[in-house]
Structure 1
Amino acid sequence: MGWKRYLEKNSIKLMLLGALAAVIGVAIAGGGIAYADKTSFCSSCHSMQYVAATWQVSNHRQFTCGDCHLPQENIVEKMIVKNQTGMHDTYHEFLRDYPDTIRLSAKGRAIVERNCLRCHAHTVANTFMSTGGQSCTKCHRGMIHNQIVVKEGIRVE
């Protein structure tokens, strides 16, 4: 009879310890996700320094990289794309084989287009763009990442 009481006490302790470990794990994962969603994280790579500098002088500097470049419809899709993009970027950053001008992939462009329309739907509602099939980035590419930047007396275009 004594061993049953011991087993019950240990079971409760193990369940509480498991719950505590789960809470700590979720907090660490959430903190990591929040940190990786910051522009300072994205711009920490050498290849993204110019992109970050042009973004800093744009009218969209209040938004993070993920606000425009990651899906916002649901968290699962956002995390999948964030992981795919992160692995791709880390691979090319490690090899130092990024081109001088970084271009969006077709998938990346579609995500950016959806996010443009998510924020600017009211702006395009009564224009020819409301019919669909139009490209925001075709005409407005330079609004965010193609600005002239003057840093430390050097003009970068």
Structure 2
Amino acid sequence: MRLPLIIGLVALVLVLAVGAVVTDFTAYLGDDPVACNNCHVMDAAYEGWYHASHQRWATCNDCHTPHALIPKYFVKARSGFNHVTAFVSGHIPEPIRAKESTRRIIQANCLRCHAETVSMVADGQMDAGRYCFECHREVAHGPRGVSILPFQDTGIYRPPQP
């Protein structure tokens, strides 16, 4: 009774280990923006960031995940699950947009990095309830559509039309 359980657990660990190595899973645990660009549907976002002003100062995780350890990896796990599910099912939205929960994280990170500027400029002003990126949309990812490789919608990510 005990031997099959041990063999099953060892087999599970081996399958998970091989899966982690084959998929280069550990790359997704770090902060390298190249890992975010492993899926080529992110090409335009990556290229926009690479040529925009924030490239020198911030990686994807600096803006798109919380900075506390446990919330950061919770968000990364949830996002990774959503990304894999979208890819496998073929339901990748076009264009890709941040969800409301991600918008709140991005806003918190804007304020975290730019707290002094915001306190001098925006505190108590009209539109204080708006997200920073509603007006400063091009700061982190550059102008829409600007890329060293022009975005080409080949339609391969759209689910078949019934």
TM norm. shorter chain > 0.5 = yes
CA contact (8 A) 1:71 1:77 kept: yes
* One of 79, 86, 89 as aligned partner of 1:95: 89
TM-score w.r.t. length of structure 2 = 0.67
Over 3 Å counting, the alpha-carbon distance change for 1:150 and 1:71 in structure 2 is closer
Q: 1:46: which partner in 2?
A: 40
* One of 60, 69, 89 as aligned partner of 2:64: 69
Higher RCO structure, 1 or 2 (CA under 8 Å, sep 6+): 2
CA distance in 2, matches of 1:71, 1:109: 11
1:80 paired to 2:77: no
> 1:130 offset after TM fit, Å?
2.0
> 1:87 offset after TM fit, Å?
0.7
Over 3 Å counting, the alpha-carbon distance change for 1:111 and 1:87 in structure 2 is same
Structure 2 residue matching 1:151: 3-state secondary structure: coil
Identity of aligned residues (%): 31
Structure 1 residue matching 2:63: 3-state secondary structure: helix
Structure 1 residue matching 2:35: 3-state secondary structure: helix
Structure 1 residue matching 2:134: 3-state secondary structure: helix
Over 3 Å counting, the alpha-carbon distance change for 1:150 and 1:115 in structure 2 is closer
1:32 paired to 2:26: yes
Encode CA deviations 1:20-63: one digit per residue, 9 max, x unaligned: xxxxxxxx9xx926754210000110211111011111001132
Over 3 Å counting, the alpha-carbon distance change for 1:32 and 1:121 in structure 2 is same
> 1:155 offset after TM fit, Å?
7.6
1:130 paired to 2:127: no
CA contact (8 A) 1:70 1:82 kept: yes
- In the alignment, residue 97 of structure 2 is paired with which amino acid? R
Gaps of 5+ in 2: 1-19, 153-162
1:151 paired to 2:144: no
Which segment is superposed worse, 48-57 or 96-105?
Answer: 96-105
- In the alignment, residue 66 of structure 1 is paired with which amino acid? N
Structure 2 residue matching 1:97: 3-state secondary structure: coil
Gaps of 5+ in 1: 1-27
CA distance in 1, matches of 2:134, 2:66: 20
- In the alignment, residue 130 of structure 2 is paired with which amino acid? Q
Report which of the two structures shows the higher radius of gyration computed on alpha carbons: 1
Structure 2 residue matching 1:76: 3-state secondary structure: helix
Structure 2 residue matching 1:60: 3-state secondary structure: helix
* One of 121, 125, 142 as aligned partner of 2:115: 121
Q: 1:14: which partner in 2?
A: none
